[in-house]
């Protein structure tokens, strides 16, 4: 990848300025909701300052850690942070300042740096900075509307999204959808122009030609429900407390200090955005039928 002249890229609705060439993974742009600057750190992270280490999770075969100068809790203006992917990279920042430094570790490669920056670190950063609420979903454009597919892990949302993209629908966000509320309307933020229909570790997937680079109103959620291969493809609207129950497990980064805020956000969202149950037969040969039923539903 290497360091070059400063470039500006769009990622999760923000303009990221950096000397890294991320053009293989992101689209160029100079207008966004936020501005970030990514630079290489000169020297290692001063651990005597960031003395509180919180094991995060294990992901893609790596151990992840968060460092700060206090117990892990709500981020405050001026608070120093460091996110570490064991053996690969550290990302450091000070809350509220918009600057991010990275430190490449012994196993770091250009591809690994790009993956951990885009797929994992930036969603975590925007969550801790209070910029977005992230939902584990795939978002695509259908008949002029922005819809989000949600499903349990291995529930088929990536496979279905892949089929929709191959039919010419635009991708808004893959796997992690950043959302925000503005003037009573919920928006889905475009993430990056890559889709990963398979589960290969530390890989962003393939580049998508049709990518929606602007934030779009969230028009509907489609909750995928697997059924027997010979069953009928059906769509029914979910109502009442079931709407809340259906979306809550799809929140990303469920930090305890965000619980109250998120419950309020989600409660308002389900009262605003319709949620539909789609019964999807476990038969790849019927993906076209599922696509057509959802497409007709949006047109109707």
Q: What is the pLDDT of residues 203-215, one digit of tens each?
A: 999 999 999 989 9
Write out the two tokens for 254. Answer: 């469920």
Say yes or no to pLDDT of 49 above 80.
no
Q: How far is CA 35 from CA 81, 90, 99, 102, 180, in A?
A: 18, 20, 9, 17, 17
What are φ and ψ of residue 203, in 5° steps? -145, 130
* Predicted local confidence at residue 300, as pLDDT: 82
Q: Residue 56: pLDDT above 90?
A: no
Helices (H), the chain: 110-115, 122-128, 157-166, 241-247, 259-270, 287-299
Tokens matching residue 134: 């992230």
User: How many Å separate Cα 250 from the centre of its chain?
Assistant: 11
- Name the helix (H) or strand (E) containing 180: strand 176-182
For residues 246-260, give the mean pLDDT: 88
Q: What is the pTM of this model?
A: 0.93
For 126, the token pair is: 């925007």
Per-residue pLDDT at 2 exceeds 60: no
pLDDT at residue 288 in the model: 98
- What does CATH list as the number for 135-299? 3.90.228.20
- For the stretch 194-203, pLDDT in tens is 999 987 899 9
262-293 pLDDT, tens digit each: 899 999 999 999 999 999 999 999 999 999 99
So where are the chain's domains? 3-131, 135-299
- Helices (H) and strands (E) in the chain — how many of each? 6, 21
Q: What is the pLDDT of residue 150?
A: 97
Q: Is the pLDDT of residue 139 over 70?
A: yes
pLDDT in tens, 80-136: 999 999 999 999 999 999 999 999 999 999 999 999 999 999 999 999 999 999 999
């Amino acid at each position: 990848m290497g360091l070059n002249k400063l470039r500006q890229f769009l990622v999760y609705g923000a303009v990221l300025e950096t000397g890294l060439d991320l053009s293989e993974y992101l689209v160029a742009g100079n207008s966004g909701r936020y501005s970030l600057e990514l630079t290489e750190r000169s020297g290692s992270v001063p651990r005597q300052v960031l003395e509180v280490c919180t094991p995060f999770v294990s992901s893609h075969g790596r151990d992840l850690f968060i460092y700060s100068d206090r117990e892990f809790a709500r981020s405050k203006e001026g608070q120093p942070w460091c996110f570490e992917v064991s053996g690969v990279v550290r990302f450091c920042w000070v809350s509220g300042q918009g600057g991010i430094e990275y430190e490449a570790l012994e196993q770091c490669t250009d591809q690994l740096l790009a993956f951990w920056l885009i797929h994992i670190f930036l969603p975590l950063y925007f969550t801790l900075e209070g910029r977005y609420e992230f939902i584990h979903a795939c978002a695509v454009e259908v008949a002029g509307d922005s819809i989000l597919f949600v499903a349990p892990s291995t529930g088929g949302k990536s496979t279905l999204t892949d089929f929709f993209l191959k039919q010419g629908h635009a991708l808004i966000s893959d796997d992690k959808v950043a959302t925000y509320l503005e003037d009573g309307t919920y928006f889905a933020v475009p993430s990056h122009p890559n889709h990963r229909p398979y589960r290969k570790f530390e890989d962003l997937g393939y580049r998508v030609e049709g990518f929606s680079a602007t934030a779009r109103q969230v028009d509907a959620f489609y909750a995928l429900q697997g059924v027997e291969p010979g069953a009928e493809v059906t769509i029914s609207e979910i109502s009442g407390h079931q709407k809340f129950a259906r979306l809550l497990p799809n929140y990303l980064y469920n930090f305890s200090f965000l619980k109250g805020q998120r419950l309020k956000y989600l409660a308002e969202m389900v009262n605003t955005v319709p949620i539909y149950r789609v019964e999807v037969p476990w038969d790849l040969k019927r993906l076209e039928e599922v696509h057509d039923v959802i497409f007709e539903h949006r047109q109707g």
